[in-house]
Chains A and B, each alone.
Chain A
Amino acid sequence: MTRETVLNAAHRAAGAKMVDFGGWDMPLHYGSQIDEHHKVRQDAGMFDVSHMCAVDLAGTDSRAFLRRLFANNVDKLQSPGKALYSAMLNPQGGVIDDLIVYFLDETHFRIVINAGTADKDLAWMNACHAEWKHTISLTARRDLAMIAVQGPNARARALTALPELAAADALSPFFATAIGDVFVARTGYTGEDGFEIAIPAERAATVWQALAAAGIAPCGLGARDTLRLEAGMNLYGQDMDESISPLDAGLAWTVDLISPRDFVGKAALLAHGQKHQFLGLLLEDRGVLRAHQQIFSAHGEGEITSGSFSPTLQRSIALARLPLGIAIGDHVEVDIRGKRLAARVLKPVFVRRGQALI
């Protein structure tokens, strides 16, 4: 049975083409995913991300629990409202999920996890809690809807639509604040400025309509995928999963191996080290790079983990797991339907804040 967010009827009324995404019936696009992509890069778009799951962590041992649970170090979170991106690893060093954790106060954190992994994430967190016996509680907030508003004009338009959130205007990037029962974070998954807004589900449709009336275009998961790919952001299940080390998925910057802190998966990461690099590709020939296409180089073979057409660059781009030894600027070949096409290796960030970086 596919699950529906509280905004499902609004998507259908707007003529969305719906698809199954991680067991959820979600909008792929509302007409043209390329138009929606440009809207976010140039103005403002919004995404229903209510399929993602907010988990509230409470209790005096909250920080101690997260220190051990996450590969990134929650001790980086000292200012109330600050957000941190982290992987949650299994003991073998594979990625159970990637997530954002918000520090509210010493006894309250909010964790936002992916839709398709929510059930196994919660099971894992509860299993760790049962073993470690910290003084904490974990609450999945399925009573909340979440809307991501993204683009250079997203914050201004959102505050016009929702003047009661005016206090969010002062948020620095990667900070969040609670305003009444609304949680506003200056975070996102597109490479543009914006907010992610969590609201009680019963008010979601009203807020969605208000944001639309302020000129924010509804955007589907199709545009969300090309936007995050241009921004060089990983997608769980595609760029990494439980069999992949974060060190091989470009996530070394999120893994704290320096502090003496122990965390789940640390021993495995130290034992195995990094085996691959995770870099960007730009196709120099005509065609479209896709996940699982094979890469050939002087240093060995690699694989594309995410690939598509970049609407901003009007070229095909990809994220790829490549052999060690390949350098940025190198040329490789990609097998596309039996033909070897030329691609150039780049830093895995193609577009940020509306600007092409290649």
Chain B
Amino acid sequence: MSNLPANLKYTKSHEWVRAEADGSVTIGITDHAQEALGDLVFVELPPVGKSLSAGEEAAVVESVKAAADVYAPISGVVIAQNSAVVDAPESLNSDAWSAWLFKLQPSDPAAIAALLDAAAYQQAIDAE
């Protein structure tokens, strides 16, 4: 489908990952994830400085309906969190691609390449 940004990487657990020029990565949840969750009302982000392993629970997003874990797509240290999205969780519903959650400094930059590209992620959600 054409609406998955091609410049992002993805995970099967519905995170998007953007490699930044400075070597960090920015992480959010996909449009598919926000759509499935419904109206989001609460976001809890990992503190700056926290070390995360790939696949570890990193953040929580809660809709009126349910709570969902957000996992670290790759290992690294949290270097920033988006406090605007904590104050306005509904921004995840209006634009999941710009409402990022947190940034990581990867422990192994090569791990980014192993994530899903847009076509592979599309296949994963089609198979759900």
Contacts and interface: CB of A to CB of B under 8 A. Distances in A.
Interface of A: 17, 28-29, 32-34, 222, 226, 286-288, 290, 308-309, 311, 316, 337
A316 B64 CA distance: 10
Contacts of A308: 64
A288 B38 contact: no
Contacts of B44: 286-287
Interface in B55-104: 60, 62, 64-65, 67, 93
A222 B62 CA distance: 14
B39 interface: yes
A316 B63 CA distance: 11
A17 B35 CA distance: 10
A34 B64 contact: yes
B17 interface: no
> Which 5 interchain pairs have the tightest Cβ spacing?
A309-B41, A34-B39, A288-B62, A288-B42, A309-B64
B39 A288 contact: no
Contacts of A226: 64
Contacts of A287: 42, 44, 62
Contact of B67 (A17, A29, A288): A288
Contact of B41 (A17, A222, A288, A337): A288
B82 to A, nearest CB: 15
B64 A290 contact: no
B64 A33 contact: yes
Contacts of A34: 39, 41, 64
Interface residues of B, number: 11
Nearest to B36: A17
The residue among B38, B64, B93 with the most chain A CB atoms within 10 A of its own CB is B64
Given A288-B67, A290-B67, A29 B38 contact: yes
B16 to A, nearest CB: 22
A222 B38 contact: yes
A222 B64 contact: yes
Contacts of B38: 17, 28-29, 32-33, 222
A326 B39 CA distance: 33
Nearest to B43: A286
Contacts of B41: 34, 288, 309
Contacts of B65: 28, 33, 222
Nearest to A337: B60
25 contacts: A17-B38, A28-B38, A28-B65, A29-B38, A32-B38, A32-B93, A33-B38, A33-B64, A33-B65, A34-B39, A34-B64, A226-B64, A286-B42, A286-B44, A287-B42, A287-B44, A287-B62, A288-B41, A288-B62, A288-B67, A308-B64, A309-B41, A309-B64, A316-B42, A337-B60
A282 to B, nearest CB: 15
Given A28-B65, A288-B62, 15 more contacts: A28-B38, A29-B38, A32-B38, A32-B39, A33-B39, A33-B64, A33-B65, A34-B39, A34-B41, A222-B38, A290-B67, A309-B42, A309-B62, A311-B64, A337-B60
A226 B1 CA distance: 34
Interface string B28-48: 000000000011011010000
Nearest to A290: B67
A187 B65 CA distance: 26
A337 B93 CA distance: 24
A287 B44 CA distance: 8
B93 to A, nearest CB: 8
Contacts of A311: 64
A31 to B, nearest CB: 10
